[in-house]
Amino acid sequence: MTGTTGTVQWLQVDEREVDITAMRAQGAGGQNVNKVSSAVHLRFDITASSLPLDVKARLLALRDSRITHDGVLVIKAQQYRSQEQNRADALARLNALVQSVAQAPTVRRPTKPTYGSRQRRLEGKAQRSVTKTLRGKVHD
């Protein structure tokens, strides 16, 4: 789903494009961890999704260890004791990641330093040079 609010574009991933599997969580938690499949593995194929092409490109360009070489984003959620909460957490994290790349980064336009800023920089360097030369040995 896509929409616009003012000038900010927001994207939300369609849940039909997400593959969610339940599994047993790791770590402490007693018998609940050993008996209940409350952790969730979310797999989202970026290249096959309905996201706009520019958003797909920015997602694939991320240096994120959760994105495989095939362009599949894998999110593991096991923070909560219930599968429903972990599922909602995984989907929220997926939407937050997509939202972080939804807005195209602004292109920096290089500017030249002003004459005054160059003069102040050179005056500071000259003052620092004088300070350092005064630290030398004293000659009679």
- CA dist 64 and 62 (Å) reads 5
Q: Is 6 or 26 the better-scoring residue by pLDDT?
A: 26
Q: Is residue 92 part of a domain?
A: yes
Structural domain contains residue 82: yes
| Per-residue pLDDT at 95 exceeds 80 | yes
Q: State the average pLDDT for the chain.
A: 84
Domain count, the chain: 1
Residue carrying the six token digits 């958003």: 55
Is 12 within the bounds of a domain?
Answer: yes
pLDDT in tens, 58-85: 888 888 888 888 888 899 988 888 889 9
User: Measured on CA atoms in the order 48, 64, 41, 90, is the torsion positive or negative?
Assistant: negative
Q: How far apart are CA 4 and CA 2, in angstroms?
A: 7
Q: What is the mean pLDDT of residues 91-95?
A: 91
Whether residue 102 has pLDDT greater than 90: no
Residue 131 in domain: no
**CATH number of domain containing 37:** 3.30.160.20
Q: Taking 70 as the threshold, does the pLDDT of residue 4 lie above it? A: no
Determine the structural domain holding residue 21 and report its residue range. Answer: 2-102
**What values do phi and psi take at 110, rounded to 5?**
-70, 140
In a domain, 135, yes or no: no
| Selection from 95, 82, 13, 79 nearest residue 49 by Cα | 13
